[in-house]
């Protein structure tokens, strides 16, 4: 790992200006940066510390504007927030089941959304020259994508991204001149690619300054489930977030998002159409779950994920209306 300079930024504008220079990178919670540097994926000349910028750890909620989180809000803060637990329970559950207590106390929502893939071919310097796809196609691909895996089989690594996408969240990006733009989270992520600096649409010189979720409509019900191999801390096999807008006992509209099964969080659009206008029963949930996995194209060692995902989708739909 090469040496680097550390800079404590005092404003978003200063941080954005520094991030436009050379190969400088930003640090939020710092959960993954050193690993990426040791693995030769990041080779920065400067690390710009965002934790010294006042106000980026604020969390605000109002019934009229919804939820706004600064990028330095920790996963532990999200999991414990009374407002989030009441209005956005799927997000609170995702944060509570992420990593370990020690990591949740330090990991930030901004850093979590911007983290790089956990693919062992992506992370191992021995495979950097030829990329990931060729090795994952015929190699150890049991944790790789079962959808949209023709070009890359890596999966997006953020668990909070799954419920945030289901809730229709967006992110605010700020550049060195203070220009701001809002990007819906469904359009924010890009398929993982080692040739890019980021697996998102964020550009050099931009800082993620807010994560926003719109107000929740009356009658909204939601649930989240993360399926792992072990009960203790583990990376997911898959995770699912379901957000239902209810009209009495029937579903007016549905949002179903599946994580860790595709290069980006994946909407189960056909499943959503099946639920719309219906009362949730075991049979309806089962039909929607079958539709969610209908287009899967598993690799040589991960076909088991299809059945696991189908079961998790069904259970999460039913949990949302309990």
Residue 17 within any structural domain of the chain: no
* Res. 94: pLDDT tops 90: yes
Counted domains in the chain: 2
**Which pLDDT score is estimated for 180?**
81
Do 224 and 204 lie in one domain? The reply is: no
Residue 76: give its domain's CATH number.
3.30.465.10
Q: Which tokens is 75 given?
A: 């996963």
Residue 30, domain member (yes or no): no
Question: What sign for the dihedral angle of Cα 307, 310, 314, 317?
Answer: positive
141-200 pLDDT tens trace: 999 999 999 989 999 999 999 999 999 999 999 998 888 889 999 999 999 988 888 999
Which string of DSSP letters, residue by residue, matches 19-39? HTSTT-EEESS-SSHHHHHHT
**297-313 pLDDT per residue, tens:** 999 999 999 999 999 99
State the average pLDDT for the chain.
Answer: 94
Taking only the tens place, the pLDDT of each residue in 240-255 is: 999 999 999 999 999 9
Instruction: Please determine, for residue 212, whether its predicted confidence score (pLDDT) is greater than 90.
Output: yes
* Residue 22: partners with Cβ closer than 8 Å, 6 or more residues away: 45, 46
Q: What is the mean pLDDT of the segment spanning 200-206? A: 95
Q: What is the pLDDT of residues 34-79, one digit of tens each?
A: 889 988 889 999 999 999 999 999 999 999 999 999 999 999 999 9
From 172, 197, 213, give the residue that closes a domain. 213
Q: Does residue 31 lie within any of the structural domains? A: no
Q: What is the pLDDT of residue 130?
A: 52
Tell me if 22 is assigned to some domain: no
Q: Are 146 and 302 in contact (CB under 8 A)?
A: yes
Is residue 76 located within the same domain as residue 196?
yes
For residue 172, being part of any structural domain is answered with yes
Alpha helices in 59-115 (DSSP H): 75-80, 82-87, 89-96, 101-106, 109-113
- State yes or no: pLDDT of 132 exceeds 60: no
- Tell me the C-alpha distance between 109 and 39, whole Å: 23
- How would you label 51-85 residue by residue, b for 16+ Cβ within 10 Å and e otherwise? eebeebbebebeeeebbbbbbbbbbbbbbebeebb
Q: Higher-confidence residue: 316 or 138?
A: 316
What is the CATH number for 284? 3.30.390.50
Q: What is the pLDDT of residue 134?
A: 62
What was the pLDDT predicted at 307? 98
Q: Of the candidates 163, 192, 213, which is a domain's last residue?
A: 213
The residue segments making up the domain with residue 199 are: 59-114+155-213
pLDDT at 295: 95
Q: Kindly state the percentage of the chain with pLDDT values over 90.
A: 85
How far is it, in rounded angstroms, from Cα 310 to Cα 45? 45
Judgement on whether residues 110 and 159 belong to the same structural domain of the protein: yes
Greatest Cα-to-Cα distance within the chain, rounded to the nearest angstrom: 61
Q: What percent of the chain has pLDDT over 70?
A: 98
CA 244/CA 280 separation, integer angstroms: 10
At 177 the pLDDT is 81
Q: Are residues 302 and 165 in the same domain?
A: no
Question: Are 106 and 196 members of one domain?
Answer: yes
If DSSP codes are grouped into helix, strand and coil, which group holds residue 61? strand
Note whether 292 and 179 are same-domain residues. no
For the stretch 233-243, pLDDT in tens is 889 999 999 99
**How far apart, in whole angstroms, are the C-alpha atoms of residue 185 and residue 211?**
9
- What confidence category does residue 85 fall into, taking pLDDT thresholds of 50, 70 and 90? very high
Predicted local confidence at residue 128, as pLDDT: 65
Which helix (H) or strand (E) segment is 124 a member of? none
129 pLDDT exceeds 70? no
Last residue of a domain, one of 189, 213, 237: 213
Q: Say if 206 falls within a structural domain.
A: yes
Residues 192 and 249 reside in one and the same domain:
no
pLDDT of residue 184: 97
């Amino acid at each position: 790992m090469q040496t680097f300079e550390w800079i404590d930024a005092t404003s978003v504008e200063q941080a954005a200006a520094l991030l436009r220079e050379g190969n400088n990178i930003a640090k939020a919670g710092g959960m993954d940066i050193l690993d990426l540097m040791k693995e030769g994926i990041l080779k920065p000349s400067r690390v710009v510390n965002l934790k010294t910028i006042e106000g980026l750890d604020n969390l605000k909620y109002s019934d009229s504007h919804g939820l706004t989180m600064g990028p330095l809000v920790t996963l532990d803060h999200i999991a414990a927030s009374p407002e989030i637990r009441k209005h956005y329970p799927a997000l609170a559950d995702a944060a509570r089941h992420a990593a370990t207590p020690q990591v949740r106390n330090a990991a930030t929502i901004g850093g979590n959304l911007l983290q790089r893939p956990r693919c062992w071919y992506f992370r191992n310097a021995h495979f950097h020259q030829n990329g990931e796809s060729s090795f994952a196609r015929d190699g150890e691909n049991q944790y790789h994508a079962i959808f949209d895996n023709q070009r890359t089989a890596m999966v997006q690594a953020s668990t909070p991204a799954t419920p945030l996408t289901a809730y229709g969240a967006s992110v605010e990006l700020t550049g060195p001149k203070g220009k701001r733009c809002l990007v819906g989270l469904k359009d924010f992520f890009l398929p993982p690619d080692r040739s890019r600096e980021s697996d998102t649409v964020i550009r050099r010189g931009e800082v993620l300054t807010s994560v926003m979720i719109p107000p929740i409509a009356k009658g909204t019900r939601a649930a989240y489930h993360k399926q792992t191999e072990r009960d203790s801390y583990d990376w997911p096999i898959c995770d699912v977030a379901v957000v239902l807008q209810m009209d009495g006992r029937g579903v007016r509209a549905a949002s179903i998002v599946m994580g860790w099964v595709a290069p980006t969080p994946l909407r189960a659009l056909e499943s959503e159409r099946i639920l719309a206008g219906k009362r949730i029963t075991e049979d309806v949930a089962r039909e929607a779950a079958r539709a969610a996995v209908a287009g899967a194209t598993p690799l040589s060692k991960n076909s088991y994920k299809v059945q696991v995902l189908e079961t998790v989708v069904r259970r999460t739909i039913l949990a949302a209306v309990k």
